[in-house]
Amino acid sequence: MKVGLSMLYCLGQPFSSLLKQLETVEVSNVEVLDEGLHALNDRRVHSIRRIAVDRGLELSVHAPFVDINIASPSESVRIAVLKRLKKSIQLSGKLNAVFWVFHPGMRTGISHFTPGLDWKFNLESVRQLLSTAENTGVKLAIENGLHPLPFLLKTPSEFVRFYEDLGADLGLTLDVGHANVNGQIFEFIKTFPDKIVHAHLHDNHGKADEHLGIGDGNINWVKVVRAFKKIGFRGALIVESEKNALESVQTLKALVQTV
């Protein structure tokens, strides 16, 4: 089990600081965000790639997520959203990223007028993204959404139905913090031992998405690491804390070694 770090904690700093941080982070796996001040382009991909090769870092990319709804009922909006996401997948391919992590679609204020339509758009968009990723070398991994936001996929039972309907190979990024707000961390791990290929780790008190350091909320991390070990998880446990991120990496490394 590898310990990794999401660069979310420095998303408020310019891209040049991200590069500086990448030179020194003490992990094997790094997740960069194609969003905000760190949005990717060809030149930036080249800069990140050079450091990653130099330091032997394995990369993943968090898809753009602001103003993004792959299940939008507006066709023109959906087309624009998918265009942005497809560009992100292409850039992730150039980056040699292993995973591209994205959020599921969301319900809107008019969903109740057209039951099932957002579910259908979500499936269609996921299929388009999967076909974009073919031949790029990048694997897609959909993330469990956060309660109480109107994500279509937040619970294990919603994911069971989603995978049945999709009928295609798609990994799951288990966001342990999000799952804790649902009270379903262990149900996720038990239900999807073969689907979970990637994980986001951050802490909270079970009520809101606080993105705290590991050990700063109410998550039982010993139990979490044991559960990942029990299913033979071979992916990366990516620390996605906004606060105490570097300390959290050390805490998690110690846990993985001792638990």
Q: Please say which residue, 31 or 118, places its beta carbon nearer to Mn ion.
A: 31
Query: Judged by CB, which is closer to Mn ion: 93, or 145?
Result: 145
Considering just the CA atoms, what is the radius of gyration of the chain in Å?
17
| Choice between 44 and 62, CB closer to Mn ion | 62
Closer by beta carbon to Mn ion, 38 or else 200: 200
Least separation, in Å, of the C-beta of 110 and Mn ion? 27
* Shortest Å, Cβ 54 to Mn ion: 27
Which residue in the shown chain puts its C-beta closest to Mn ion? 200
Name the site residues for Mn ion (rule: CB under 5 A).
175, 200
Q: With residue 30 as reference, give the H or E element that holds it.
A: strand 29-33
CB-CB contact of 141 with 100 (8 Å): yes
- Per the document, the length of the chain is 259
Q: How far is the CB of 152 from Mn ion (least distance, A)?
A: 16
CB of residue 146 to Mn ion, shortest distance in Å: 8
d(CA 23, CA 104): 32
Tell me how far, at minimum, the Cβ of 205 lies from Mn ion, in Å: 17
Q: Which helix (H) or strand (E) holds 247?
A: helix 245-258
Q: CB 197 → Mn ion: shortest distance, Å?
A: 14
- Tell me whether residue 44 or residue 200 sits nearer to Mn ion (CB atom): 200
DSSP string, 96-158: T-SEEEEPPPB--TTGGGSTTHHHHHHHHHHHHHHHHHTTTTPEEEEEPPPTTS-BS--SHHH
Q: Give 227 or 238: the residue with its C-beta nearer to Mn ion.
A: 238
Residue 113 CA to residue 230 CA, distance in Å, equals: 44
